[in-house]
Amino acid sequence: MNSVKYNNWKDAVRAHQPGGFDAGAAWQKFQQHNRPAQKKRKWLPWLAAACLCGILLSIAIIKNNNPGTAARKPAGPVPEKNNIAEEQPVQTYMPVGPVNSTTAGEEKIPASNDKAGTKNVQKSEAGKETATPALPVPLIIKPEEPANNTTTVIAKVEPVKEEQPVKPKAVLKVVHINELNPRTDYARENTPVPEKRASPVMPFMKASYAQHGQEEPPPPVQKQQRGVLRSIASLKEK
């Protein structure tokens, strides 16, 4: 029996408990229904982030594996000239020693062998005599060979074919002679049509212009007539 007294029957009915409800069992049932969903919710953002990272990584790998285009930069150090001519040593400044123009590509005399201050005059490829001032022997820098001694292949860059604009095909339009409209006739597309066409002056208007001292408006500009309409016009004139 409820010892609590209520002010009115409504409060009493609201507070009345019919019995037969086990709160503990109901809570366990509630947890069983909701727990997997809650766990999934906690894992879901991590799963989404992992999927996104995986997608980005796979895109990056695919891009690296594909043969690159002209716009793409090479991944590792690629020598400027390879497979085309023998590698030439990079010189920091103008050579002062004997330059063997006919044996391009051969290994140059190392700097330690050259005598400093020797004057040598030699004809170059162009035939000019080059004076050799007494300067220290240039440091010849050999290009670095790749560590693996593997040949690198320069990707051939194919010229991008410019897409020629597609010319619209001319459409022949068969029109009955009676349906020809001087404005929309195919033969007259390029004919300029005056925007304002002055209407011909009617006889009664001429009199009114004369009375009021006004000048008659200029006659309407005759359009250029071509083709069929020209022949029709000429027939009319006749």
Contacts with another protein, residue ranges (CB under 8 A): 2, 6, 8-10, 12-18, 20-21, 23-24, 26-27, 29-30, 33-34, 38
- CA dist 148 and 78 (Å) reads 13
| CB nearer another protein, residue 35 or residue 142 | 35
| CB nearer another protein, residue 42 or residue 156 | 42
| CB nearer another protein, residue 2 or residue 112 | 2
- Least Å from the CB of residue 24 to another protein: 8
- Least Å from the CB of residue 40 to another protein: 14
| CB nearer another protein, residue 26 or residue 60 | 26
Q: Are 107 and 92 in contact (CB under 8 A)?
A: no
Residue of 205, 204, 200, 203 whose CA lies nearest to 218? 200
- Least Å from the CB of residue 165 to another protein: 59
- Least Å from the CB of residue 44 to another protein: 14
| CB nearer another protein, residue 23 or residue 174 | 23
Amino acid at 83: N
3-state secondary structure of 76: coil
- Least Å from the CB of residue 28 to another protein: 10
Helix-, strand-, coil-residue percentages of the chain, each rounded to 5: 30, 5, 65
Any residues with CB less than 8 A from the CB of 138 and at least 6 apart, and which?
A: 91, 92, 93, 94, 95, 96, 97, 111
